[in-house]
Amino acid sequence: MSPEQDCTTTWELKLIGYAVSNQASVKIRDLDEAGMIIDQVTEAAGDLVRVNGISFTIEDPEGLREESRAKAIAAMQEKAETMADLAGVTLGRLVNLEEATDFYSPQPLYARAAMASAESAADTSIAAGEIEITTTVNGVYLIAPSEGP
């Protein structure tokens, strides 16, 4: 709650009332219904409703993290083998393996909120976004001189 003051007529601030705002976060699992829900909230609450933004998250990212980790380790192994071949050495065993902190980065999309009356506004549409899960691994391998000519 914050005071609303009139300061247009004199240098004195005149209290004319109070403004109250509230913020809510809502989790909607069915993307197809998100626009309709925003429209219904706007219709019920009036034109003072503001949708500040929409972001996408993954409900349970652990399986995707495991998949990302497996792909990162396979890519590291392949790259190490290629580098060893190019350097003319034999790739030995892996002696150190570290994983950098993995993260996912939701790509936020913003809905067009109905700022005028709900009857005169077009339906709100929500476009799907992408969420990227990244895993970085670092490995240290032993190498030996290549056997051969």
What pLDDT, on the 0 to 100 scale, is given for residue 26? 84
Does pLDDT of 119 surpass 50? no
What pLDDT, on the 0 to 100 scale, is given for residue 4? 83
Give the total number of structural domains in the chain. 1
What pLDDT, on the 0 to 100 scale, is given for residue 148? 65
pTM equals 0.57
Which stretches of 56-141 are DSSP H helices? 62-87
% residues pLDDT > 90 (the chain): 31
Nearest to residue 133, comparing CAs of 110, 100, 109, 111?
100
What pLDDT, on the 0 to 100 scale, is given for residue 149? 59
What pLDDT, on the 0 to 100 scale, is given for residue 61? 87
Does pLDDT of 62 surpass 80? yes
φ, ψ at 95 (rounded to 5°)? -110, -15
Task: Identify any residues that bridge with 5 across adjacent strands, giving them in sequence order.
Answer: 15
Between 119 and 34, the higher pLDDT residue: 34
Domain containing residue 137 = 2-145
Nearest to residue 54, comparing CAs of 120, 148, 129?
129
**Residue in the block written with tokens 């219709």:** 43
